[in-house]
Structure 1
Amino acid sequence: MQTAKAAIVVVPGATIVSRSSPFVPRFEPLVGPRSRRTADVCRLAVMNMRSSRLQSGFTLVEVLVALVIFAFGMLGAVGMMLSSMQSTQYSSNSVVAGAMAREYGELMQMIPDGVSSTSSATATSTNTLMVDTDSFSTGVANNCTGADKNCTPDALLTAARDDWALRVKSTGTLPEGRAEVCRDSTPRNAAGELEWGGCDQAGATVLIKMGWLGKPPVGSKGSSVDTNWMTADRPRFAVSVMGNLRDYVGTPPPGATP
């Protein structure tokens, strides 16, 4: 006896329904709310795929814009840091120059004979504290310390002056440092700026002019506009030193004994 075999093929969009007998399936197409839900799910999936593509493009543009803004922010931060470092260096040089000017002023008050000269000293001058360090080169001042040294007062004065001048010229003290000590009745030019070499050796007050390189020049030997006031082309400041009464030129004050 042969048994009949039947193949059941499920058609997409249909469901198996058996009403009369559990062995005789019947197919019905999907209709109604369930089919609509399935179609809605498909449409939502397609829309999500399209929107994801659009969002990916917009996200890339937003990332690029954020990178540009971040780059500008970093450049600004680096610029502020460099400006802060430059200001710190300038302040440090100002402190060093002020300390050296005060040191030399005290030396001049202790040795009043050293400021009686009416001319600025050079590296070969003796018996004077008037000095322009621009005429000095690097080297070692005469040694007048020790029991075996037989230095005269003039030699001691010259050694103290040369030691100070060479320290001003030293690269480890001030960058391109320069000092000028002289009598100058008009220390400022027509523009109101201090200047080198304008000593007229007149007046009762001795000036200590100090200058140094405040900012590296741009181009060949300072072709930048701001090198006129940021380099050692002119003094940064001048300190007046009032010695004893013998330093006054002309008539001494009333009641004073020169």
Structure 2
Amino acid sequence: MASTKHSAAGFSLVEVLVSIVVLSVGLLGTLGMLLASVRTGNETATFTAALNLARELSEKARINKGLAAKNNAANAYLVEDWRAGSASGASAAVKACVATVARCTPEDLAAWDMREWTHRVAKALPDARLSVCFDDAPWNATAGEYAWACSHTGNTVVVKLGWTPRTGGEEGRSSMPPRLVMQLVAGQVHDGQAGS
């Protein structure tokens, strides 16, 4: 006599649907982590580019320290509240200081350095904003962040760089504090100039 019991083999439709749902949730979580990783990597690359640009300007200012350490209108390294795409400095005629036969004054060299440097900043940083100024207190302790405003006092030249992050949450760039602040010229009196 044959057995009338059938043992159930395989999966039921409900079990298959549950496993598909669990797998889908796992894949969505993995995709979310991958996107966050890419965004973070992009922001890290942008911050590294900003840091390299600030270091480059620091080297240029230290080479031309006789001018860079002066707090006056002749110092072309001083730029306040420059924004990518702004007309300020874009159309100004600047003497090219690139050839070995080029005869450039320190002022010419500073103007050339800043024009070329701001072009690179505009290319490397999205919605770039910068200030290069004398500032003895760039940190705003009350707000707990760096401030765009410059005190125009002291003997320390700083560069303040800001950009719109690519990590979502597009805030207004005018309300965002500087994302990188770096000292360009050390705080010391140079050539007998005490902040004049």
Asked if TM exceeds 0.5, the reply is yes
1:139 Cα shift? 5.0
Aligned runs of 1:65-84 on 2, under 5 Å? 65-84=18-37
RCO higher in structure (CA 8 A, sep ≥6): 2
> Aligned partners of 1:249, 1:144: CA distance in 2, in Å?
26
Deviations, residues 66-90 of structure 1 (Å, cap 9, x unaligned):
0110010001100110111111111
Distance 1:247 1:181, change over 3 A: farther
- Provide the residue aligned with 2:77 in structure 1: 129
- Provide the residue aligned with 2:138 in structure 1: 187
- Provide the residue aligned with 1:236 in structure 2: 179
Aligned runs of 1:26-175 on 2, under 5 Å? 37=1, 41=2, 44-45=3-4, 47-48=5-6, 59-112=12-65, 113-118=67-72, 127-132=75-80, 133-134=82-83, 136-137=86-87, 142=94, 143-146=96-99, 151-170=104-123, 173-175=124-126
Range moving further from structure 2, 65-74 or 181-190: 181-190
CA contact (8 A) 1:211 1:234 kept: yes
1:245 Cα shift? 3.6
| Aligned partner letter, 1:116 | K
1:213 Cα shift? 1.9
Equivalent position SS for 2:57 = helix
Give TM-score scaled by structure 2 length: 0.78
CA contact (8 A) 1:144 1:156 kept: yes
1:202 Cα shift? 0.9
Deviations, residues 26-45 of structure 1 (Å, cap 9, x unaligned):
xxxxxxxxxxx3xxx2xx44
> Aligned partners of 1:87, 1:202: CA distance in 2, in Å?
37
CA contact (8 A) 1:134 1:179 kept: yes
> Aligned partners of 1:146, 1:249: CA distance in 2, in Å?
31
Equivalent position SS for 1:234 = coil
Q: Is 2:148 aligned against 1:200?
A: no
Equivalent position SS for 1:155 = helix
Matched residues, percent identical?
A: 29
Pair member with larger Rg: 1
More helix per residue: 1 or 2?
Answer: 1
- The unaligned stretches of length 5 or more in structure 1 are 1-36, 120-125, 252-258
| Aligned partner letter, 1:181 | V
Aligned residues: 187
1:212 Cα shift? 1.8
Deviations, residues 45-65 of structure 1 (Å, cap 9, x unaligned):
4x53xx75xx78x71000010
Root-mean-square deviation (CA, aligned residues, Å) is 3.2
Give TM-score scaled by structure 1 length: 0.61
Distance 1:247 1:103, change over 3 A: farther
CA contact (8 A) 2:70 2:193 kept: no
- Which runs of structure 1 show a deviation greater than 6 angstroms over 4 or more consecutive aligned residues? none
